[in-house]
Amino acid sequence: EGRAAWILALPFLVLFLVFTVWPVLQSLFMSFTDTRAKDLRTPFSVDVVGLENFTKALTDETFLRSARNTAYFVLVGVPLTLTLGMAAAVALDRGITKFRSAFRLGFYTPVVTSIVAVAVVWQFLLQQDFGLINTVLGWFGIPGPNWLGDPNWSMPALIMMASWRNFGTSMIIFLAGLQAVPWVLHEAAAIDGANAW
């Protein structure tokens, strides 16, 4: 059985070693060298520079700005996505009774939709002059920002788009967890004073 398992796992192991482990090791090696694009054909003919590349990166303003933007995107986007996923899961578990399957499909569809299609739709929604979001804000007398052109609003716009696209995955996971909890525990929690959340 052990030999059969290794034989069956061999195709995956070969592909994993060739296309994952080897490139990671190559990238790690290259990060300690002065590799340029012209050196890619002969990667072992480069000079080792130690931690110089890392020192340059940590003092480069462009790198630091991109690191701050990534941290902003993660620290705001991940909790927002998880919160939306939990709210949708609770709604599907308790609140929405009619057309529950249609809502599940609708909430999960953005996850499997092409990112190009999602980007085109959100570009239309976020247009400054005729976008749907700014049009709705205008109905309430609120001047809509330039979502895609203003540096202060472009990151929130990207976070909104990413959260909308990805909350379906966490919704499915949370919904599976909610439906796995026996009703006896729900009733016991209610007796202990727990609210719906």
The pLDDT assigned to 184 comes to 66
* Segment 175-180 long-range contacts (CB within 8 Å, at least 24 positions apart): 175/88, 175/89, 175/92, 175/93, 175/104, 177/89, 178/89, 178/90, 178/93, 179/93
Q: What per-residue confidence (pLDDT) applies to 109?
A: 84
- Mean pLDDT in the chain? 86
Q: Pick the more confident residue, 178 or 15.
A: 15
Q: Which residues pair with 33 in a beta bridge?
A: 48
pLDDT at residue number 186: 64
DSSP code string of 71-108 = HHHHHHHHHHHHHHHHHHHHIIIII--TTHHHHHHHHH
- Phi/psi of residue 48, nearest 5 degrees: -80, 130
Confidence of residue 128 (pLDDT cuts 50, 70, 90): confident
Q: State pLDDT tens for residues 16-46.
A: 999 999 999 988 988 888 887 676 777 667 8
Q: What pLDDT does residue 197 have?
A: 64
157-194 confidence digits (pLDDT tens):
999 999 999 988 999 999 888 887 776 666 677 777 77
CB 132 within 8 A of CB 144: no
9 confidence band (pLDDT: 50, 70, 90) = very high
Amino acid 7: pLDDT: 94
In percent, the amount of the chain with pLDDT more than 90 equals 36
Which among 187, 164, 186 is positioned nearest to 177, based on CA atoms? 186
